[in-house]
């Protein structure tokens, strides 16, 4: 299969879906000629024109509000937030409108709206451009939450999202855009609610999201050299969450470590840990371990930033802790 960048996988998914369905419309800040701040829509304008892709004002409330309106009137809306941090300016449009329309109309209205947002640290962008906010949206009924960790999943999950009749929060990590992976030329989609077992193992289950999947894989290589066999699960979608795959793995290994970049307090790791305790408690040989970012704003200093977020070394240490090995 061809090897392409994560950003190219996003771009290809958008273009392929726009060719397939004339009712898809793309909008966001600088999405036309610039292709968005990370270039994921570059070249779309030349093929589809201004009637199907449009720059917006610097107003997140307008972008998502227009996305909701467009979706309600029959257009499949694909909108981009340059940074997830700024979606906080549009929480009413996202949480009180997009998330609730189908419920409040008794299912009569559909809302085919995908909100793509870049999030995460690793670039020294500072406290207001480095957050991971997925837990906020997981908490809100009516929203689906997607976090692809590689190009294959990014393309397949985005195509699934565009075809869905519900509002989708599609979170792309900024560090992942330049990562590469195999992506088939032919048509494919990745289903929501189906986790991917990135690595099979027998000693401990590591559940990791987004960029942390790559760090978990690095940690697994280090652990393997020390005789520890880790199984790594990437949920891919947090809502819906594939509980069955996680629970099946934990029942096999007897231990679980959860790794995510957002803060620990009320983060998605807390929900996954509770699911494990609720459904696999009798199979646990040690308490569930969470590895998250510190409960502090992300520093601008690159060195301080790296100390704040999960690292490969912290994952290795966490796994050894649940295995009672030094």
**Torsion region of 122: left, alpha or beta (phi above 0 gives left; psi -120 to 50 gives alpha):** left
Instruction: Please give the Cα distance from 56 to 162 (Å, whole number).
Output: 20
> Is position 173 annotated as part of the catalytic site?
no
For 167-201, what is the HEC assignment? CEEEEEEHHHHHCEEECCCCCCCCCCCCCEEEECC
Instruction: Please give the Cα distance from 285 to 304 (Å, whole number).
Output: 34
Residue 132's nearest CA partner among 26, 31, 7, 269 is: 269
Residue entry with tokens 């401990």: 204
Of the listed 129, 173, 260, 263, which one is catalytic? 129
Sheet of 144-146, strand order: 53-55, 24-28, 76-81, 113-119, 168-173, 144-146, 237-239
How many of the other CB atoms lie within 10 Å of CB of 220? 24
Query: Which residues are annotated as catalytic?
Result: 129
């Amino acid at each position: 299969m061809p090897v392409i960048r994560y950003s190219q996988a996003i771009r290809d998914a958008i273009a392929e879906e726009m060719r397939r369905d004339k009712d898809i419309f793309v909008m966001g800040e600088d999405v036309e000629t610039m292709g968005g701040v990370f270039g994921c829509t570059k070249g779309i304008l030349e093929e589809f024109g201004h009637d199907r892709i449009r720059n917006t004002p610097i107003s997140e409330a307008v972008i998502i509000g227009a996305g909701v309106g467009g979706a309600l009137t029959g257009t499949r809306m694909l909108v981009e937030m340059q940074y997830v941090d700024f979606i906080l300016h549009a929480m009413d449009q996202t949480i009180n409108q997009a998330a609730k329309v189908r419920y409040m109309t008794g299912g009569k209205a559909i809302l085919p709206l995908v909100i793509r947002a870049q999030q995460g640290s690793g670039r020294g962008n500072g406290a207001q451009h480095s957050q991971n906010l997925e837990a906020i949206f997981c908490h809100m009924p009516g929203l689906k939450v997607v976090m692809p960790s590689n190009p294959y999943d990014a393309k397949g999950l985005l195509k699934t999202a565009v075809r869905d009749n519900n509002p989708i929060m599609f979170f792309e990590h900024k560090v992942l855009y330049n990562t590469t992976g195999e992506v088939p030329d032919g048509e494919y989609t990745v289903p929501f609610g189906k986790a991917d077992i990135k690595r099979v193992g027998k000693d401990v289950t590591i559940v990791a999201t987004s960029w942390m999947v790559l760090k978990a894989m690095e940690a697994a290589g280090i652990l393997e050299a020390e005789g520890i066999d880790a199984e790594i699960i990437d949920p891919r979608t947090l809502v819906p969450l594939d509980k069955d795959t996680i629970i099946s793995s934990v029942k096999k290994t007897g231990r679980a470590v959860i790794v995510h970049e957002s803060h620990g307090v009320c983060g998605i790791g807390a929900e996954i840990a509770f699911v494990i305790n609720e459904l696999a408690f009798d199979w646990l040989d040690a308490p569930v371990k969470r590895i998250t970012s510190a409960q502090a704003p992300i520093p601008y200093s690159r060195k301080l930033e790296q100390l704040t977020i999960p690292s490969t070394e912290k994952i290795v240490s966490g796994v050894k802790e649940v295995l009672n090995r030094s």
